[in-house]
């Protein structure tokens, strides 16, 4: 990763250090700091990018990426629908006022399907298998409710991704069965590819899907009112890694070699969302049958919420010149991502655009409680307030009640006003 790029990233947060320090002074630490204005900007940018390429779109925020109710409500207020994958998430989506909800995910229970049926005017169920379709038809018949539904398609028949959806080779049979249902009203298809740094995987599957659709009878094609191309869009800054997160670093660890490298950071670049939209729009026009004028739906999660939430913590102990302990544990993010991933740890109390070697560790009674192996600052001492920016995706929603209390959530608005978030 070019050093200049990283310095620019850190500098934008140092320029606002007083806002973050004010939050820590008012509410203590550790804190989740949510910026709803960033969420709104991301939602509008995403909608604008795809609306410029496609005539009819539906955007559904993947609630699993950050299920903080304030995040969900803000997204809904911006006119997006919600993508849920459990009855628990469905309940939250309804509480937050969503009018358009897609219910995806494997292994839906009868209780979860009944919850969807109870709100059939707002929910589309994405059926994950023939068995799930049969159960949904039976339950819908029992309560005399008609519900809209789509079929999820399997994008990879190898390994663990087999758990999702039905293979393209089975689509004709699945649709024949779906069209015979009396209470399940088939109306669309969905597929999902993950960790998309580019649109290559989505475009490739659209090519395969187009070939399969051309083999279907015209009446069946006309019944498809939407095609949902899923989510997995990576934010434009790309994926940032420590040396341990690279193939060479992983190999060195397996061979018990010393791969503890701190001066170099690695970046897997990602497309801007406008480029995603242009490439996906082109693939849709090229590969889908021309007479299919269906709605194109998307399920972004990480792209919308990643940059909208940050972590604030305080140094509580300096055990050596190159080792400090903070008051936040990685139970706040739910997994040990910073053993391989990189995020800048910024010392707001002693600011500097120089990164210095130091293990920044959390307060949990486990050695896998790692925030980073360096900090940006002049020095680091007990009482210093540290910021780890852009940690809004797959952190808050993965948090765990483990050993230490979870951080408080505060919001920071465009006027730099900080307020505590209770929900």
Q: Which of 57-61, 88-92, 246-250, 261-265 has the lowest mean pLDDT?
A: 261-265
H-helix or E-strand spanning residue 132: helix 130-143
Q: How many CB atoms lie within 10 A of CB 196?
A: 21
Calculate helix-pair angle for 36-51, 69-77, nearest 10 degrees: 40
Question: Are 3-35+307-420 and 37-305 equal in CATH topology?
Answer: no
Q: How many CB atoms lie within 10 A of CB 137?
A: 20
Superfamily of domain 3-35+307-420: Lyase, Ornithine Decarboxylase; Chain A, domain 1 (2.40.37.10)
CA-based end-to-end distance of the chain: 37
CA-angle at 58, arms to 53 and 60, nearest 5°: 125
CA-angle at 107, arms to 101 and 112, nearest 5°: 50
Residue with tokens 């991933």: 341
Predicted pLDDT at 388? 98
Q: In 3-state terms, what secondary structure has residue 295?
A: strand
**Sequence-distant contacts of 175-178: CB under 8 A, at least 24 apart:** 175/151, 175/216, 175/220, 175/223, 176/220, 177/130, 177/133, 178/127, 178/133, 178/149, 178/151
Span 34-71, pLDDT tens digits: 999 999 999 999 999 999 999 999 999 999 999 999 99
Does position 414 have pLDDT exceeding 90, yes or no? Answer: no
Beta pairing class for 309-320 and 346-347: unpaired
Secondary structure string (H, E, C) spanning 310-377: EEEEEEEEEEECCEEEECCCHHHCCCCHHHCECCCCEECCCCCCCEEEEEEECCCCCCCCEEEEEEEC
Topology at the third CATH level for domain 37-305: TIM Barrel (3.20.20)
Span 214-229, pLDDT tens digits: 999 998 999 999 999 9
- The sign one gets for the Cα dihedral 210, 213, 214, 215 is positive
Span 278-299, pLDDT tens digits: 999 999 999 999 888 899 999 9
Span 101-121, pLDDT tens digits: 999 999 999 999 999 999 999
Contact criterion met (CB below 8 Å) for 249 and 265: no
Spans of all domains in the chain: 3-35+307-420, 37-305
The arithmetic mean of pLDDT across residues 357-372, rounded, is 97
Residue 257: DSSP 8-state: -
Nearest to 127 by CA among 145, 141, 155, 148: 148
Sequential DSSP letters for 22-81:
HHHHHH-SSEEEE-HHHHHHHHHHHHHHHHTT-SSEEEEEEGGG---HHHHHHHHHTT-E
The arithmetic mean of pLDDT across residues 389-399, rounded, is 97
Band (pLDDT 50/70/90 cuts) for residue 415 is low
Predicted pLDDT at 200? 98
User: If you count them, how many residues does the chain have?
Assistant: 423
Please tell me the distance from the alpha carbon of residue 246 to that of residue 342, in angstroms, as a whole number.
11
Q: What percent of the chain is predicted at pLDDT more than 70?
A: 97
Band (pLDDT 50/70/90 cuts) for residue 169 is very high
Contact criterion met (CB below 8 Å) for 189 and 149: no
Tokens read off for 305: 């919420």
Sequential DSSP letters for 179-235:
HT-SSEEEEEEE----SBSSSHHHHHHHHHHHHHHHTS-HHHHHT--EEE----BPP
Please tell me the distance from the alpha carbon of residue 333 to that of residue 323, in angstroms, as a whole number.
21
Predicted pLDDT at 246? 85
Exposed, middle or buried by CB within 10 Å (0-12, 13-18, 19+), for 16? middle
Tokens read off for 70: 């304030």
Tokens read off for 111: 């209780």
């Amino acid at each position: 990763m070019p050093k200049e790029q990283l310095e620019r990233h850190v500098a934008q947060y140092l320029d606002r250090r007083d806002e973050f320090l004010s939050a820590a002074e008012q509410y203590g630490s550790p804190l989740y700091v949510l910026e709803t204005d960033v969420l709104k900007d991301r939602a509008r940018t995403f909608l604008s990018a795809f609306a410029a390429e496609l005539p009819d779109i539906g955007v559904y925020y993947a609630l699993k990426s950050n299920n903080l109710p304030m995040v969900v409500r803000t997204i809904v207020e911006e006119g997006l629908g919600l993508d849920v994958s459990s009855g628990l998430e469905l309940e939250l989506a309804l509480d937050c006022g969503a009018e358009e909800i897609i219910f995806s995910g494997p292994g839906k229970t009868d209780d979860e399907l009944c919850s969807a049926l109870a709100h059939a005017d707002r929910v589309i169920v994405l059926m994950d298998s023939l068995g799930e379709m049969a159960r949904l038809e039976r339950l819908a018949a029992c309560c005399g409710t008609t519900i809209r539904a789509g079929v999820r398609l399997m994008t990879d028949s190898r390994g663990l991704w087999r758990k999702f959806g039905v293979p393209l080779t089975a689509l004709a049979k699945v649709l024949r069965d779906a069209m015979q249902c009396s209470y399940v009203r088939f109306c669309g298809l969905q597929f999902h590819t993950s960790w998309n740094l580019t649109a290559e995987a989505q475009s490739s599957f659209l090519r395969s899907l187009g070939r399969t659709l051309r083999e279907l009878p015209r009446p069946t094609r006309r019944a498809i009112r939407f095609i949902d191309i899923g989510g997995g869009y990576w934010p434009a800054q790309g994926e940032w890694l420590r040396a341990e997160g690279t193939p060479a670093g992983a190999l060195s660890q397996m061979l018990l070699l010393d791969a503890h490298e701190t001066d170099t950071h690695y970046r897997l670049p990602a497309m801007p969302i406008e480029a995603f939209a242009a490439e996906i729009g082109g693939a849709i026009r090229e590969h889908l049958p021309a007479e299919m004028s269906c709605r194109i739906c998307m399920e972004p999660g990480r792209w919308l919420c990643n940059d909208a939430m940050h972590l604030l913590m305080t140094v509580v102990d300096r055990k050596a010149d190159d080792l400090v302990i903070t008051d936040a544990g990685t139970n706040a993010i739910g997994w040990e991502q910073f053993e391989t991933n990189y995020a800048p740890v910024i010392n707001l109390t002693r600011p500097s655009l120089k990164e210095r070697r130091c293990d920044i560790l959390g307060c949990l009674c486990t050695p896998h409680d790692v925030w980073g192996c360096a900090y940006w600052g002049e020095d680091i001492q007990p009482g210093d307030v540290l910021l780890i920016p852009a940690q809004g995706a797959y952190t808050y929603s993965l948090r765990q009640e483990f050993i230490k209390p979870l951080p408080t959530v505060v919001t920071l608005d465009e006027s730099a006003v900080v307020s505590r978030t209770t929900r």
